[in-house]
Amino acid sequence: MSQTKKKVAVLFGGRSPEHDVSIVTALQVMEALDPDLFDPIPVYVSTKGEWFTGDALRERGVYLPGPAEMERLTPVTLKLGAGGAPALESAPSGMFRKATRIELDFAFPSFHGVQGEDGCIQGAFEMAGLPYSGMRVMSASVFMDKLATKQILNDAGIPMLPSLSLPRPAKGLMLLPEEITALVGEIAFPCILKPQHLGSSIGVARVANMAELTESLPGVFRFDTHAVLEPLVPNLVEYNVAVARISAIERPKPSAELLDFKAKYLSGGGTKGGAKGTKEVGRPSEGMLSLTRDINPAIPAEMDANIRAWAVKTFDRLGGAGSPRIDFLCNSATNEIWLNEVNPAPGSFAYFLWEAASPPVSFPALLEHMIAEGEENARRNRLPTDPTPNDARLFKRK
Ligand SMILES: Nc1ncnc2c1ncn2[C@@H]1O[C@H](COP(=O)(O)OP(=O)(O)O)[C@@H](O)[C@H]1O
Ligand SMILES: [Mg+2]
């Protein structure tokens, strides 16, 4: 049995503000992958961008690895040339380390945010000839860009808020009030200001006037090259739904303030103090989840149908793959609803929405589906050994 298990590299961490959230997702994925079918190989990308593998990376307690823990890990890189089997190889550093080569069948990127969810790592997998889960290069990069998402869905008949993009200045993080006015013109406050490419509510701010906008911009520019400005939805209620088929819908519990990073990921202790070792690593209990959200809330039939139809349409528009979560904003006083964003790789791959879908899909089954889909995508997109057609060959094949 063990020879037929697929070697699945689970890659996580990385140079994104969502580094830590990605560790939680990856531990959950490694725990949920069916051990009879898959052999998960952890590949941790440090905040500096170095790649490591090693069994210690399966333990929650090792994060973030310090110098002593790093000693137990093996630095690796992904072999980019597509000839031969895709593999992880020892980085050429450290003359005392034994050279390592780990052949891979599949890559399961479990990153959130830049370089992992936005098409960058997906491009590396394409170059390496390594089948991978989730969105391919173009859909990942478009959906990680809040403005590009709106542009690509512009004629899809899905309501979306108008938004403006403000570029980070060439020098420093401050834009002068007159520069901002030149970019945004006359706008009605209050607005929401947010990074164009990040997630987890990092840098999201409510701004009530020009002075607050000027003050808040550096907080966004510290993390992102562009800020997005859009009207604030009053009486906000949110609805999120994951798509592969169609998951349950969740409604995050309303709060007076924006859900911030900590509220989303740390409240209720769901990511803290999980049992050492394997079982239930970082998996929030049902009770904890229900503190922060209503799953399958009662909503008007028309809204329910719209959310599902718009989510599927969005997914299909760019040949979606994986388990993206598509998020909507709703004004609960008027029941107006807008598509807000697509998360190509949402936290925990939104497994709890699949468990509550009808029919329910278990987390291991979701992961198995994502792997089968990635393999099918790779088969469909495989290039011939010599991709140059006969009539385009300028040089003799020897
Ligand atoms: N236009 C808006 N009006 C009111 N609240 C908003 C608006 N846009 C975002 N928010 C709030 O900020 C949160 C984070 O914004 P979002 O666009 O989802 O970015 P992120 O990629 O960080 O999740 C949302 O979940 C919502 O609570
Ligand atoms: Mg969001």
| 3-class DSSP state of 3 | helix
Lining residues, ligand 1, CB within 6 Å: 161, 192, 194, 198-202, 204, 230-233, 236, 238, 258-259, 327, 329, 340-341
Q: Is the pLDDT of residue 198 over 90?
A: no
Provide the percentage of residues in the chain whose pLDDT is more than 70. 87
Q: What is the mean pLDDT of residues 140-151?
A: 96
Q: Which residue among 255, 340, 341, 343 has the greatest number of ligand 1 atoms within 8 angstroms of its CB, and so is best to mutate?
A: 340
Q: 40 falls in which pLDDT band (50, 70, 90)?
A: very high
pLDDT tens per residue across span 46-82: 999 999 999 999 999 999 999 999 999 999 999 998 7
Q: What is the pTM of this model?
A: 0.88
pLDDT of residue 264: 60
Q: 144 falls in which pLDDT band (50, 70, 90)?
A: very high
How far, in Å, CA of 56 to CA of 212, rounded?
46
pLDDT of residue 73: 94
Residue 222 alpha carbon to ligand 2 centre in Å: 19
Q: Which ligand is nearest to the CA of 160?
A: 1
pLDDT of residue 282: 56
Tell me the pLDDT of the chain averaged across its residues: 88
Q: Which ligand is nearest to the CA of 330?
A: 1
Residue 86 near residue 129 (C-beta atoms within 8 A): yes
- Closest listed residue to residue 346, CA positions, set 368, 328, 322: 322
Pairing mode, strands 226-231 and 164-167: antiparallel
Which atom in ligand 1 lies closest to the alpha carbon of residue 232?
3
Residue 38 alpha carbon to ligand 2 centre in Å: 31
pLDDT tens per residue across span 246-300: 667 777 777 655 556 556 655 544 444 333 334 445 566 665 666 788 999 999 9
- Closest listed residue to residue 144, CA positions, set 164, 166, 122: 122
pLDDT of residue 201: 86
Which atom in ligand 1 lies closest to the alpha carbon of residue 233?
3
Provide the percentage of residues in the chain whose pLDDT is more than 90. 71
Q: Is the pLDDT of residue 36 over 90?
A: yes
How far, in Å, CA of 268 to CA of 265, rounded?
9
pLDDT tens per residue across span 332-384: 999 999 999 999 999 999 999 999 998 899 999 999 999 999 999 999 998 88
Residue 33 alpha carbon to ligand 1 centre in Å: 31
How far, in Å, CA of 106 to CA of 373, rounded?
11
Q: What is the mean pLDDT of residues 107-113?
A: 96
